[in-house]
Amino acid sequence: MRADLFRKGAIVSIFSLLGGSAHAAMPVAGQAAPAFASVDQDGKAIALADFKGHPVVLYFYPKDDTPGCTKEACAFRDGYAAIQATGAVILGVSADDAKSHKAFAEKFHLPFQLVADADHKIIDAYGVKMPLLSMAKRTTFIIDKDGVVRKVFEGVSPATHEPEVLAALKGLS
């Protein structure tokens, strides 16, 4: 019995050392969205609380300027007007810093804010850290105007995700 406890403790310790988190649980529909504060691509302070009263599309992606992440960001860019028409805002989050986000946003003319999370606090709070990597899993949270998670999309396809998000936002009203 004692050996089993030691092994379980060792596994948790090794997992933590490799960048995992033994306690980070992904929020589910109906739960309050974890609060966060950071900076956007322009170095401007940004917090989830800034958007109280508006639905939020909080999408996590692995890395700026990579093929899948670019495809997803550009799809959100191309569907931005329709998403805005629902009253929602889009926030993209990755472990990249503000400088990387700025270059990515400028290169692809992204009209929404990218949130820097180089210290992984937001990624950890939302339980979307890739095991063994310092990157976020491609996951999107639809958060209602009161700060409650209403829909979670895991393992999304960058090519087809924007219409799913738009449909979920329209379902909020």
74 is catalytic: no
Q: What is the pLDDT of residue 24?
A: 66
Could you tell me the end-to-end alpha-carbon distance of the chain, in angstroms, rounded to an integer?
53
Residue 9 within a domain? no
Residue 15 within a domain? no
State the total domains in the chain.
1
Q: Which residues of the chain have pLDDT under 70?
A: 1-24, 173
Residue written as tokens 């939020």? Answer: 56
Q: What is the pLDDT of residue 10?
A: 38
Q: What is the pLDDT of residue 159?
A: 87
By CB atoms closer than 10 A (0-12, 13-18, 19+), residue 4 is exposed
Residue 144 within a domain? yes
Q: Which of 33, 39, 69, 136 is catalytic?
A: 69
CATH number at residue 121: 3.40.30.10
**Total-model pTM:** 0.86
Among 21, 43, 44, which Cα is nearest to 34's? 21
Residue 12 within a domain? no
Residue 17 within a domain? no
Domain that holds residue 134: 24-172
